[in-house]
Structure 1
């Protein structure tokens, strides 16, 4: 028992050490699009070794013998996998910001392209006119085009950015097919605007549905006091007579 307890403590200590960021780190590989901030990995992913160790210790402590060892392995692996795949809060917030701003960015980009601007110039104008996460990614793509990175590679990288997949694919398809970039971007802007309007309408309809239950709970006491209680009282009085 003492040996297993020591192993559990060592595992937990090692996992806790991973929660503390070292001051000197080996530089990580550059992100897909240069200039875009890489969100923090989040506490859940950064401390997955600790959570896995704690889950394994719990399985071993609560189940006897070999069954406890098997449960420890299964629980530790399951917790490690779930924590590794969890989306960090920073990445989720950034993706939502990109999704909200993308219809406006795409519309302005379509207008700039329809006005005769080249793609790099249009990207630069949109990034300057509409600051935000989506514009940061477009500015990074424009910078890579300016230094001579092949456009297909830039569009492939843009397609891997959460929230900008559709825009990257549109640029890539226009590059391959030779279609007018302004036309395909304009169609994408129309689709994104329609999706945004549909999302607003869905959220507006859901407000009434979500408010029905609390409103019903608030009105239920009044209904009982004004509707049910007098009827019951009258019935009891009539029975007494």
Structure 2
């Protein structure tokens, strides 16, 4: 009887921990995906704007971009293409991404431009500049935190080495000199 109660208690503890671990792993994968999309965004938008400036229609540009850009950005563009292929308007298709953390603002502006007829290429160029500035600020912030993040590993390596090379010989020499005196 005691073993089955112990197994139930252990199961009640392990199952939530496993679920929490799986959610954390899924969240880490999603964060990595969003980070990659943020890195790819400026180049994608510049390519998008260049194709539109060259005279390609919006839908054809999205189709070409979905084939050219790397994953995971291509996956998002294929999703927009799927909505366009189903017969949705450009505005409706882009609004599907309105809540996306990276492409959200771009998608809202593209939907607005598609419904109003405003110039899309200029909007994309502005978003590309903003995305590059944001990426630059993120890199600078990461560079500023390198010193702080390196303190613990350096202290874990250099402190024991200092003790072994600097302090231990002094203590050993002092103990040795006391042994000779005594």
Structure 1 residues 47-86: aligned runs within 5 Å: 54=12, 86=23
**CA contact under 8 A between 2:98 and 2:105: conserved in structure 1?**
yes
**CA contact under 8 A between 1:134 and 1:164: conserved in structure 2?**
no
Residue 125 of structure 2, aligned match among 175, 180, 186: 186
| Root-mean-square deviation over aligned CA pairs | 3.7
Equivalents in 2 of 1:222, 1:54: separation in Å? 45
Matched pairs, number = 164
Deviation string, structure 1 residues 151-208 (Cα, Å, up to 9, x no partner) = 2221211223453212211212323454211011110011111111221222222222
Judged with a 3 Å threshold, the aligned counterparts in structure 2 of structure 1 residues 222 and 94 are, in CA distance, closer, same or farther, namely closer
Residue 173 of structure 1 aligns with which residue? 112
- Normalised to the residue count of structure 1, the TM-score between the two structures is 0.54
Structure 1 residues 1-241: aligned runs within 5 Å: 54=12, 86=23, 88-89=26-27, 90-221=29-160, 223=162, 226=166
Larger relative contact order, structure 1 or 2 (CA cutoff 8 Å, min sep 6):
2
Residue 39 of structure 1 aligns with which residue? none
- Normalised to the residue count of structure 2, the TM-score between the two structures is 0.68
- Name the SS for the 1:140 alignment partner: helix
1:93 positional shift:
3.9
Gaps of 5+ in 1: 13-52, 56-78
1:222 positional shift:
5.4
Gaps of 5+ in 2: 178-182
Equivalents in 2 of 1:130, 1:94: separation in Å? 14
Q: Which has the higher helix share?
A: 2
1:221 positional shift:
4.5
